[in-house]
Structure 1
Amino acid sequence: MSNEPRDELEGTEAPFVSHLIELRDRLIRALIAVGIAFGVLALWPGPSGLYDLLAAPLVSNLPQGATMIATNVISPFLVPLKITLMAAFLVALPVVLYQVWAFVAPGLYSHEKKLVLPLVVSSTALFFAGVAFCYFFVFGQVFKFIQQFAPKSITAAPDIEAYLGFVLTMFIAFGAAFEVPVVVVVLARMGVVSVEKLREWRGYFIVIAFVIAAVITPPDVVSQLALAIPMVLLYELGILAAGLFIKHTQAPPDNGA
Structure 2
Amino acid sequence: MQPLTDIWEGDSSRRLIFTAMHEKFFTDIKVAFFAGSFIAFPIIANQIWIFIAPGLYKQEKRAFLPFLVATPFLFFIGGAFVYYFVFPVAWPFFASFEQEGVKGAMAITLEPKVNEYLSLVMRLIFAFGLSFELPVIMTLLARARIMTSDSMRRKRRYAILLAFVAAAILTPPDPLSQIGLALPIIILYEISIFFAVLIERSRAKREFFDDDNSEKEDA
SS at match of 2:70: helix
Q: Which of 34, 52, 56 is residue 2 of structure 2 equivalent to?
A: 56
Give me the TM-score of the superposition, normalised by structure 1: 0.70
Equivalent residue for 1:18? none
Instruction: Name the Cα RMSD after superposition.
Output: 2.7
Q: Which whole-Å CA distance do the structure 1 matches of 2:168 and 2:44 have between them? A: 32
Q: Which of 133, 139, 142 is residue 188 of structure 1 equivalent to?
A: 142
* Preserved CA contact (<8 Å) 2:24 2:115: no
- Cα deviation for residue 212 of structure 1 reads 2.1
* Preserved CA contact (<8 Å) 1:115 1:245: no
* Preserved CA contact (<8 Å) 1:62 1:156: no
Q: Which whole-Å CA distance do the structure 1 matches of 2:61 and 2:194 have between them? A: 20
Higher relative contact order (CA 8 A, sep 6+): 1
- Cα deviation for residue 62 of structure 1 reads 4.6
Deviates more, 1:155-164 or 1:216-225: 216-225
SS at match of 1:102: helix
- Cα deviation for residue 84 of structure 1 reads 2.6
Where do residues 87-106 of structure 1 align in structure 2 (5 Å cutoff)?
87-106=35-54
Give me the TM-score of the superposition, normalised by structure 2: 0.81
Q: Over residues 130-189 of structure 1, what are the superposed CA-to-partner deviations in whole Å (9 max), with x where a residue is unaligned?
A: 101111111121111111123331122111111222122111111111111111111112
Q: Which whole-Å CA distance do the structure 2 matches of 1:215 and 1:86 have between them? A: 20
Q: Which whole-Å CA distance do the structure 2 matches of 1:253 and 1:104 have between them? A: 29
Equivalent residue for 1:161? 115
- Cα deviation for residue 233 of structure 1 reads 0.9
Equivalent residue for 1:242? 196
Name the aligned partner's letter for residue 157 of structure 2.
G
Where has structure 1 moved over 4 Å in runs of 4 or more? Answer: 250-257
Equivalent residue for 1:20? none
SS at match of 1:193: coil
Q: Over residues 46-104 of structure 1, what are the superposed CA-to-partner deviations in whole Å (9 max), with x where a residue is unaligned?
A: xxxxxxxxx22123335932210122223333323332332222222222111100100
In the alignment, structure 2 segments of 5+ residues that lack a partner are 101-106
* Preserved CA contact (<8 Å) 2:18 2:115: yes
Percent identical across equivalent pairs? 37
Q: Provide the aligned length of Structure 1 versus Structure 2.
A: 203
SS at match of 1:149: coil
Q: Which whole-Å CA distance do the structure 1 matches of 2:193 and 2:182 have between them? A: 17
Equivalent residue for 2:55? 107
